[in-house]
Amino acid sequence: MRVFEETESQVRSYCRGWPAVFVRSKESHIYDESGKPYLDFFAGAGALNYGHNHPVLKNALIEYLTDDHIVHSLDMYTEAKAGFLETFRELILRPRGLDHKVQFPGPTGTNAVEAALKIARKFTGRTTIARFTNSFHGMTLGSLAVTGNGAKRHGAGVPLEHTLTLPFDQYLDGSTPDLLWLRRLIEDSSSGVGLPAAVIVETVQGEGGINVASPEWLRALAKLCEEHAMLLIVDDVQMGCGRTGPFFSFEEAGVVPDIVCLSKSLSGYGLPFAVTLLKPELDIWEPGEHNGTFRGFNPAFVTATAALEEFWRDTSLHERVAAHGSLVDDELRRIAAEHPDAGTDVRGRGLARALSFDDPMVAGVVCRNAFERGLLLETAGSEDEVVKLLPPLTTSREELETGLSIVGESVRAARKELA
Ligand code: PMP
């Protein structure tokens, strides 16, 4: 451990909660240097929806590398890029009636968001982006400006401006319609707030604590955007690629965003890869106006294409996520019922699930206990008061049951410890 403490920056974070050195991983398990297995219910913060080292994706990658195909190519035309675009169009865009153009920004989620914000401002000629309480969109300055987390914002060192904060679904008292505030602001010429260029939203706020927007709320938001010519940006970086069931998390609500941000599990293999999808009329970029060296990493095109072929030719993954999601929900409710005085809340959609506690200390202790028992779990929420479950979508029923029984034990142990 010494080399990390002596040499790596203080900014390191996840490793602090999981003090082990990891050497191997396979499907839903990751192994430390002593060979101890951990069930991974974090899945690379949603970057490993298809598990670790999926054999079909791995073989596609090995073959590609062994045959000396192109690895780096800026945004030149390559066979691997053509393969990805054709497969993405055939299996994802067309069946959903989407005709969005595919922009390759840099390879991370925040790159996809920056591109979205920039094109929204360029297209509308307006500067403000509306965003929601408890949102998370990334760490670069534009994305950070539309992110809620106070500690992360503090790190910016400059004012984070040109945004408008709005209450997310159910943020207020439950009796005030949440979108009323936005409607009033933009319809009152004396509100002092100009019309935003766009609204950026997560359908389920991942880092914010697995806060789920209802389909009705999302539809009302999409309608309001349309009525006032504000662009709707859905940040599907964490909830896309099947995390909530369908490929895109907004499909259930039946809305069509103007712009969609995808990354994390898009490569399927944990390789860095992101896209920003734009309705065709928004694609008014000048060539090279939004540039970058690592846009379109060919090995990621190859594994992404293999993942689409493997998981999105039929609806079996979608159905599995729905069934396993309700199994996790049932079990979390059972655990919550064991602790009627803990102020628990169980929420989520698909295989993005959460158990929150009134006392923000509990969730952290639950995660530490789970680690000791061989389960990786992370906290989320503004005060880290939420235990978040993001197992790979390919996790078996038995593995889910094993993990959930460790969650139950870890909650019991945490409450005893904190009593
Ligand atoms: N948007 C959402 C919804 C996210 O969850 C994240 C990452 N947690 C990001 C954007 C930023 O992605 P990245 O860390 O790859 O920049």
Q: Which domains does the chain possess?
A: 2-54+315-418 (3.90.1150.10), 58-311 (3.40.640.10)
The verdict on the CB of residue 211 being under 6 Å from ligand 1 is no
Ligand 1 centroid vs 254 CA: distance in angstroms?
23
Query: Which residues neighbour 5 within 8 Å (Cβ) at sequence distance 6 or greater?
Result: none
Ligand 1 lined by 114 (C-beta under 6 Å): no
CA distance 221 to 219: 5
pLDDT at 296: 87
Strand ranges of the sheet holding 37-40, from the earlier edge strand across to the other edge: 22-26, 29-32, 37-40, 375-376
Which residues of the chain have a pLDDT value below 50? none
Structural contact between residues 67 and 288, judged by C-beta atoms closer than 8 angstroms: no
pTM of the model: 0.98
Q: Using CB atoms within 10 Å of the CB of residue 367, give its burial: 0 to 12 exposed, 13 to 18 middle, 19+ buried.
A: buried
What pLDDT shows up at residue 339? 98
Structural element, H or E, at residue 79? helix 79-88
Query: Which tens digits make up the pLDDT trace of 151-194?
Result: 999 999 999 999 999 999 999 877 778 799 999 999 999 999 99
Q: Which two tokens stand for residue 248?
A: 């895109």
For ligand 1, pick from 143, 238, 261 the residue to mutate: most ligand atoms within 8 Å of CB.
238
Q: Which of 263, 265, 271, 390 to mutate to test the pocket of ligand 1 (most atoms within 8 A of CB)?
A: 263
Pocket test residue of 117, 132, 137 for ligand 1, highest count of atoms within 8 A of CB: 137
- Give the residue among 325, 317, 336, 112 at the shortest CA–CA distance from 212: 325
Predicted local distance difference test score (pLDDT) of residue 173: 76
262 contacts: CB under 8 Å, gap ≥ 6: 112, 236, 237, 240, 241, 274, 275, 276, 277
131 alpha carbon – ligand 1 mean position (Å):
15
pLDDT of residue 299: 98
- Compute, in angstroms, the gap from residue 238 CA to the centroid of ligand 1: 6
Separation of alpha carbons 1 and 120, rounded Å: 45
- Residue bearing tokens 């998370």: 136
Q: Which atom of ligand 1 is nearest to the CA of 47?
A: 15
Task: State residue 78's pLDDT score.
Answer: 98
